[in-house]
Structure 1
């Protein structure tokens, strides 16, 4: 099974944890939540995550 990035629609996405993924194209971390939404995070220089925005996913 592959995951598509909700930001760029790319498939170069790797799994970081059970619900977190990393897009190698956008360089963002994606956390999928219940209710068809994804939270997008920018990764800071020190490795912390900064919330960027939320994407509502359609089925």
Structure 2
């Protein structure tokens, strides 16, 4: 089962084909097969700030 790469929570919403939103820590992330490929923090104004430098390595984050 899919879990948040940040808080490991299961309370996720699907916002796109391979995009999800975590209701626990308010981040959006995209997956490709079994790896997280993009992670964003949703700001108060609705804009997104990349968190890839914190979560994405060369091999990706396993979910």
If the length of structure 2 is used for normalisation, what is the TM-score? 0.70
| Bigger strand fraction | 1
Tell me what 1:49 maps to.
48
| Bigger helix fraction | 2
Tell me what 2:2 maps to.
3
Q: Mind listing any 5+ residue stretches in structure 1 that lack a counterpart?
A: none
Q: Mind listing any 5+ residue stretches in structure 2 that lack a counterpart?
A: none
Size of the aligned set, in residue pairs, is 58
Which structure's relative contact order is higher, taking Cα pairs within 8 Å and 6+ residues apart? 2
Which 4+ residue blocks in structure 1 deviate beyond 4 angstroms? none
Work out whether residues 34 and 62 of structure 2, in 8 Å CA contact, stay in contact via their aligned partners in 1: no
Tell me the C-alpha RMSD between the 2 structures: 2.3
